Amino acid sequence: MTGPTPQFEKPSVARQATIGCFMAVIGFFSGGMIAVLVSKAVAFFTRAPKCDGIPTCDWYIYMFVGGAIGALTLPWLVVSAMRQPAPPAKDEPTDRKN
């Protein structure tokens, strides 16, 4: 016999904003690091001049663009996932043999 299905309650706006802001910081740095890796690949394939001590001469441009993309997309993905109810749990078969 199955019990009543519990109602899904969305997280509060304060919780969504707090987690979204935290994820924006994480998204900025993770997106920036990935973009600098992309700049290294672009510099390799275009045979760009090398700068001593840094990945590429224009790394900061890639870092800020990638950081902006990461700061926007990661919070959006996390907060939109928080707003969705969890998928229903599948009942495990009772005749399973170990």
Sequence-ordered alpha helix ranges (H) in 1-98: 13-45, 59-82
Q: How many CB atoms lie within 10 A of CB 73?
A: 14
Which residue shows structure tokens 């969504």? 16
Q: Structure pTM?
A: 0.76
pLDDT, tens only, 18-65: 999 999 999 999 999 999 999 999 999 999 998 898 889 999 999 999
Gap between the Cα atoms of 16 and 71, Å rounded: 15
Portion of the chain with pLDDT greater than 90, in percent:
60
The residues spanned by each domain of the chain are: 13-82
